[in-house]
């Protein structure tokens, strides 16, 4: 199928994009388009029929990765998954951060999709099976939104509200993702896909900055990412070798899995617990 007719505005700056969104008429249905990797198929299938598309993909300021004076990292909304996958090895970013970004980005879909799809588009789309929502929540990121009333920041952990639902207000655009400047000691990220390049059925990520609790963020839960906090000392006390530790982790995490995750689906719940156990094990095994 082909999309229903729409008007198209390519914005040269973020201010121009916000003005174009604000100037839309009362009968307009306006959409931002970034990489088009999710919106394109939805337009073609006529699942959405916007009357106006505001294209932000070529706004230079949205395609930059900057290190902030406090050591944090600001990633423009139109930075593609491929740009993050290809991050060069350098001492610009806090230790460990580039490794996590490269790993998560490189596991998204196929290279062709990663070359167009953007981090901001992925967040705004809020597909529960997408990789960035849980990864950025685990990384302690904040999402910078720009709109007619100015700029505001929302914690990534509070940004995705549910299935395709976010904290974005009408007229707002995701401008950037800001990561904290602290180093990452250890991390683990696991996802289960039936086929390489497919959306995951379960995923989990742990970012270890050395606190008393180990937090596993679960994605692909059917809604917003879910956090499970585990006591580090209790986990470290699981007796036995590698196999016993993994079985013990699985048992504890399965017991802590909220009822809201895949209720009544024992296999899906097993997968979620298993991905979380593997991600936590990566941290405990000091990988």
Ligand X SMILES: Cc1cc2nc3c(=O)[nH]c(=O)nc-3n(C[C@H](O)[C@H](O)[C@H](O)COP(=O)(O)OP(=O)(O)OC[C@H]3O[C@@H](n4cnc5c(N)ncnc54)[C@H](O)[C@@H]3O)c2cc1C
The site for ligand X (CB under 6 A) is made up of 31-39, 56, 77, 108-109, 113, 116-118, 120-122, 124-125, 127, 130-132, 168, 173-174, 199
Smallest separation (angstroms) from ligand X to the CB of 148: 14
Q: Are 73 and 94 a contacting pair, CB within 8 Å?
A: yes
Please identify, using beta-carbon distances, which residue of 108 and 253 lies nearer to ligand X: 108
Question: Smallest distance from the beta carbon of 132 to ligand X, in angstroms?
Answer: 6
Shortest Å distance, C-beta 45 to ligand X: 12
- The CB-of-72 to ligand X minimum distance in angstroms stands at 19
Give the residue with the Cβ less far from ligand X, 168 or 249. Answer: 168
Nearer to ligand X, 196 or 255 (CB): 196
Comparing CB distances to ligand X, the nearer of 36 and 61 is 36
Least distance from C-beta 169 to ligand X, angstroms?
11
For residue 85, what are the contacts with CB-CB under 8 A and spacing of at least 6?
A: 102, 105, 106, 114
Q: State which residue, 94 or 147, has the beta carbon closest to ligand X.
A: 147
Please tell me the distance from the alpha carbon of residue 122 to that of residue 132, in angstroms, as a whole number. 7
> C-alpha angle 71/76/78, rounded to 5°?
155
* Residues 38 and 81: beta-carbon distance below 8 Å: no
Residue placing its CB nearer to ligand X in the complex, 6 or 199: 199
Q: Looking at beta carbons only, is 135 or 276 nearer to ligand X?
A: 135
Q: How far is the CB of 163 from ligand X (least distance, A)?
A: 13
Min. distance of Cβ 134 from ligand X in angstroms? 10
For ligand X, which residue has the nearest CB?
117
Strand arrangement of the beta sheet that strand 52-55 belongs to: 7-10, 52-55, 30-33
């Amino acid at each position: 199928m082909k999309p229903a007719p729409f008007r198209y505005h390519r914005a040269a700056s973020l201010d121009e994009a916000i003005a174009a969104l604000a100037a839309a008429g009362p009968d307009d249905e306006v959409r931002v388009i970034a990489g088009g990797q999710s919106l394109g198929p939805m337009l073609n299938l006529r699942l959405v029929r916007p009357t106006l598309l505001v294209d932000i993909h070529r706004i230079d300021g949205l395609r930059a990765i900057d290190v902030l004076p406090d050591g944090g990292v600001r990633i423009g909304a139109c930075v593609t998954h491929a740009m993050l996958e290809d991050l060069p090895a350098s001492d610009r970013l806090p230790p460990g951060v580039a490794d996590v970004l490269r790993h998560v980005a490189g596991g998204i879909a196929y290279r062709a999709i990663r070359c167009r799809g953007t981090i901001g588009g992925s967040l705004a789309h809020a597909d529960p099976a997408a990789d960035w929502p849980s990864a950025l929540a685990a990384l302690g990121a904040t999402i910078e939104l720009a709109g007619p009333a100015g700029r505001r920041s929302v914690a990534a952990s509070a940004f995705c509200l549910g299935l395709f639902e976010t904290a974005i207000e009408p007229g707002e655009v995701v401008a950037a993702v800001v990561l904290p400047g602290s180093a990452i000691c250890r991390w683990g990220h696991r996802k289960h896909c039936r086929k390489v390049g497919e959306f995951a059925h379960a995923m989990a990520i742990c970012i270890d900055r050395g606190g008393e609790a180990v937090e596993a963020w679960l994605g692909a839960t059917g809604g917003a990412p879910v956090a499970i906090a585990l006591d580090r000392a209790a986990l470290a006390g699981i007796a036995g070798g590698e196999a016993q530790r993994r079985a013990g982790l699985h048992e504890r995490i399965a017991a802590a899995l909220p009822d809201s995750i895949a209720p009544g689906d024992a296999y899906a719940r097993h997968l979620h617990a298993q991905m979380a156990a593997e991600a936590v094990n990566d941290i405990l095994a000091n990988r």
